[in-house]
Structure 1
Amino acid sequence: MIEVIPVIDLRGGIAVAGKSGERENYRPLETVFSSAPDPVNIALSLRAAGARSIYIADLDAIEGTGSNLDSVGRVNHVLPVTLDAGVKNRETFRFMLQFASRVVAATETLESTEELEYILKTYPPERTVVSVDVKDMKLHSENIDLELEEFRDLLLGYESDVILLDLGAVGTSSGFNRDLLELFRPIIRRVIPGGGVLPNEIPEFEAMGVRKVLVGRALHEGMVRPG
């Protein structure tokens, strides 16, 4: 059965929510799983509702303005955390492993494909996740200049899960980018779609061979159950 992984973003020690990746406009998260935007309380409620893990984006760490790693560590005692905290290279990846069960190496912040391949070769796939960050069907990265097809092919020789994150759809409940999903069909069993996922799309994803999906807004509004 497909795993619905809850998503929360952290800024300044609290859970926040935004739309289309416009981080400057994020506000405290309103969720059916907690009366306050406290990440530990949210995680406890999600676990009680059936969640098996949780995805956390540490916005302060990604933006280089601080971090929420203490909060992440506490949440990781409640639910296994898949953490995106702005990994740049092998050193930052190794550091983040102290706080979460799995650490994301995201194209948005990685210094190079060489650093990514070192991480994928060195650490077990159970602890590594690659995030393919996409805007307008282009790889979103400060440092990696590859077409999406080229980046997909780079991943063929590895076993780690691959998040497909359509940044323009984050927080919109607009439906997942099907063209993006089709492009990554060769590794579909490792793909984790994220960004705008709708409840009625989840059974279709499962039929395609997808085993995990990231859900934020639809889950926090009570339209989707975790787990």
Structure 2
Amino acid sequence: MMSGCSWLDATTREQIVAVVDLKAGIAVHAVAGNRQAYQPIAIGGKTAGDPFALVAHYRSLGIRSLYIADLDSILLGQPQIALLERLISPHSDLDEILVDIGLPERDTVASLLKSVRRRSNVFVIVASECATNATSLRRFEGALDYSQLVLGMDYRQGVFVGGDDSDDDWDSGGDWDSERDWLEFADQLGIDRVVALDTATVGTSRGPSIAEICSRIRRHFPSVKLYSGGGIRDASDVKLLQQAGCDRCLVATALLKR
């Protein structure tokens, strides 16, 4: 195990979902949501940006869950289907693999959805930042069971980003009205996994800032499996998010330190 990951004890390891951000075929280091400035990740003597080397590194640390974000799909609507399938297919033994593809047109990801459907440990995230409103959660209806979909609740500096719904202040409840619309609709559809992530803290090693939001989600929707992260430095930050109601924590930067 790399010395910089000495904080990763057996108990903490079980709570970690290791992050792979893909841009133009390479694995990049996400920092503060400035996606145009993301740089390739180098692991040991491997080629910088090799996503397979990154996954192998995470597995060498004993991590059993992955979060794979396809930035080409999220930002451009151009999913990296072949790469995603190559990353997913060898890891049927992992506990779970969450794949964030934003909200591309359904026909552009038909083969990926078909592949996911055959793998009970793989789940597709529908990202609120890419949608017009909560009904966008129906985009893949019929192609994938709702039990394999995950609601991605996106935030920027604490402000919910959810298409038109994020501007909804109909009863002066602000962001919570928008959040609740998405969460209630997901619940109605049978989606029982939620990833809440604030891009402003990702990769900053400043500690998580989303604990209050996680607590709010957990309080109102106690049965969801809740994931979050951003800025996590060590086991104490993981514990902080667990105390806020998170079941699993998304981590990248803290797992790359030597």
- TM-score category of the 2 structures, normalised to the smaller one: 0.7 to 0.9
Structure 2 Cα separation of the partners of residues 99 and 217 of structure 1: 29
Equivalent residue for 1:225?
none
| Higher-Rg member (1/2) | 2
What are the residue-to-residue correspondences of 1:70-219 with 2, within 5 Å? 70-79=82-91, 80-88=96-104, 96-98=112-114, 100=116, 101-116=122-137, 123-145=144-166, 146=168, 147-154=174-181, 155-156=183-184, 157=187, 158-177=190-209, 178-186=211-219, 187=221, 190-199=225-234, 200-219=236-255
2:255 maps to a residue whose letter is L
TM-score under structure 1 normalisation?
0.82
Please provide the CA RMSD for this pair: 2.9
- Return closer, same or farther for 1:99/1:22 CA change in 2, 3 Å cut-off: farther
- Return closer, same or farther for 1:151/1:196 CA change in 2, 3 Å cut-off: same
4+ residue stretches of structure 1 with deviation over 6 A?
none
Deviates more, 1:30-39 or 1:69-78: 30-39
TM-aligned CA deviation for residue 75 of structure 1: 0.9
- Structure 2, gaps ≥5 residues long: 1-10, 117-121, 169-173
- Return closer, same or farther for 1:38/1:204 CA change in 2, 3 Å cut-off: same
1:151 maps to a residue whose letter is S
- Return closer, same or farther for 1:87/1:96 CA change in 2, 3 Å cut-off: farther
- Return closer, same or farther for 1:33/1:149 CA change in 2, 3 Å cut-off: farther
1:82 maps to a residue whose letter is L
TM-aligned CA deviation for residue 166 of structure 1: 0.5
TM-aligned CA deviation for residue 150 of structure 1: 2.0
Deviates more, 1:163-172 or 1:204-213: 204-213
Structure 2 Cα separation of the partners of residues 164 and 193 of structure 1: 5
TM-aligned CA deviation for residue 165 of structure 1: 0.7
Q: What's the secondary structure of 1:174's corresponding residue? A: coil
1:172 maps to a residue whose letter is T
Question: How many residue pairs were aligned?
Answer: 222
TM-aligned CA deviation for residue 221 of structure 1: 1.9
1:202 maps to a residue whose letter is V
Alpha-carbon contact 2:218-2:245 (below 8 Å) kept = no
Alpha-carbon contact 1:39-1:71 (below 8 Å) kept = no
TM-aligned CA deviation for residue 16 of structure 1: 0.6
